[in-house]
Amino acid sequence: MVKANNAEKDEASSGPTFSSHDVINHENQPSRKAITKAPDGLYPKPIASSFNTFQIDAARRMHMLTINSRMPPRFKTPNSDPRDTKAGQSRHFHDEKSSESRSPDKNEQSTTDKDVQVQVPAMGCDDQNCQNPRCAHCGAVIIPAPAATFPFKDTPSISINDWEIYTARKPILTKEEIEHFESILGVPVPEMIFGNNKVEVLNSNKNLHICFNSLDALRTVSVDNKDILKVSYADEWFKSRAKAHHNDDDVLMEIIKPYDWTYTTHYFGTDLTVPEGGFVHDDSYTIPHDKLTKHSPILFFDDMTLFEDELGDNGISTLNIKIRVMHDCMLVLQRSFVRVDNVLVRIHDTRLYVDFEENLVVREFKRQQQDYDKLVKSCSRP
């Protein structure tokens, strides 16, 4: 690699564009010294803050490496014509390929060797909107899509037998969309709300369709005055304000429209359609963690935020959702995390487990809460 001083770099940037390979190896090309001694007026005067040729070429090469690394190789099918650009885009996969890539134990072998029908994108998805292919090496759906650009507008999907899973990750809501949400909810929305993000799980044969989205989650936020938390300095603030304005009749020291400003949600998903009889309440049943903890290849994984708010610099409130899909089961984890500084920490978890082999759906909802000081003390113990 040729190193040049600052004067040579500035002069090189003003002349014709040559890459480092061109300047060094081609004798018939003008040398850098000839360019630097060009007569006045032949080349424009270089700008001190401009990029030189080598920086531009390096940036171009790095960009091409990044783009090429994100483009997966095409899936090859037996008897496919290499001239056919669509021949390698196989939509159906069997577990034998993924099981050959590693050596699972006996329990895992019996699961991955079953004839599971995997389809990407999902059966009910429009190919024009689903641009997330499967990796040719591990078989997992590539998220974000190789052709994705900022801001992400991904709509990946996958089908396992009769089950269809869809997710959507899109930019933060616009001003017009926020006003529409607030007109529906009647309360201000969080500072950062991704109202178009969602997770959908459906099975048409079982008449089951469950969706997770931010609008329905915010509908469960309490508007009862008794559920409103106060920050650590709220009493002092009210007392100081009341004392300063005790003679002012135009100062209103009350909440006009109460709502839970921590955005604590009791949302466990939207049941668009459910089988006759719905879910059966059974606290004795637990999600089979043995299936979730074994080393099964993950075919689909996505992680997204539905909304987030910093609570006026008094803590944080987030609603996040994760999903992972294997050959035999899948799990959706939605977590509402609330931290009010010096007051409390609160976690509401919703898990949706689907067993593809038994066509079993389990939904679990857990609430956890602890005072801030007690939690800090328990964490600081030796």
Instruction: Give the start-to-end residue ranges of the domains of the chain.
Output: 6-70, 164-229+256-380
User: What is the pLDDT, as a whole number, of residue 46?
Assistant: 55
> Are the C-beta atoms of residues 300 and 324 closer than 8 Å to each other?
yes
Give ∠ CA 209-298-118 in degrees, rounded to 5: 60
Comparing 226 with 10, the larger pLDDT belongs to 226
Q: Is the pLDDT of residue 277 over 60?
A: yes
Q: What is the mean pLDDT of residues 42-51?
A: 56
Q: How many CB atoms lie within 10 A of CB 245?
A: 13
pLDDT computed for residue 83 by the predictor: 42
Distances (CA, A) of 113 to 96, 97, 108, 138: 6, 9, 8, 15
- Positive or negative CA dihedral for 131, 325, 89, 72? positive
What is the per-residue pLDDT across 302-360, written as a single tens digit (0 to 9) for each? 999 999 999 888 889 999 999 999 999 999 999 999 999 888 999 999 999 999 988 89
Give pLDDT tens digits for 178-190.
999 999 998 889 9
Task: Output the pLDDT for position 93.
Answer: 36
Q: What's the whole-number mean pLDDT along residues 90-105?
A: 40
* Backbone φ and ψ of 21, nearest 5°: -65, -40
- For residue 369, the cross-strand partners are 346
Q: Are the beta carbons of 132 and 156 closer than 8 angstroms?
A: yes
Of 61 and 364, which is predicted with more confidence?
A: 364
Average pLDDT, the chain: 75
Structure tokens at 199: 């997770």
Instruction: Give the confidence band of 246 by pLDDT, cuts at 50, 70, 90.
Output: low
Higher-confidence residue of 36 and 308: namely 308
More confident residue, 145 or 24: 145
Count CB-CB contacts under 10 A for residue 97. 13
Is residue 203's pLDDT more than 80?
yes
- For the chain, give the percent of residues with pLDDT over 90: 34
C-alpha dist (Å) from residue 285 to 75, 280, 281, 348: 41, 11, 9, 19
Indicate if the alpha-carbon torsion angle 279, 280, 283, 289 is positive or negative. negative
CA-CA distance, 87 to 244, in Å (whole number)?
77
- Provide the strand spans (E) within the chain: 92-93, 118-119, 157-160, 163-168, 192-193, 198-203, 208-213, 270-273, 300-309, 315-325, 329-340, 344-355, 360-371
pLDDT at 73: 53
pLDDT confidence of residue 56? 72
304 contacts 169 by C-beta, under 8 angstroms? yes
Tokens, residue 83: 């001239």
Are the beta carbons of 305 and 258 closer than 8 angstroms?
no
**What is the number of other CB atoms lying within 10 angstroms of the CB of residue 370?**
13
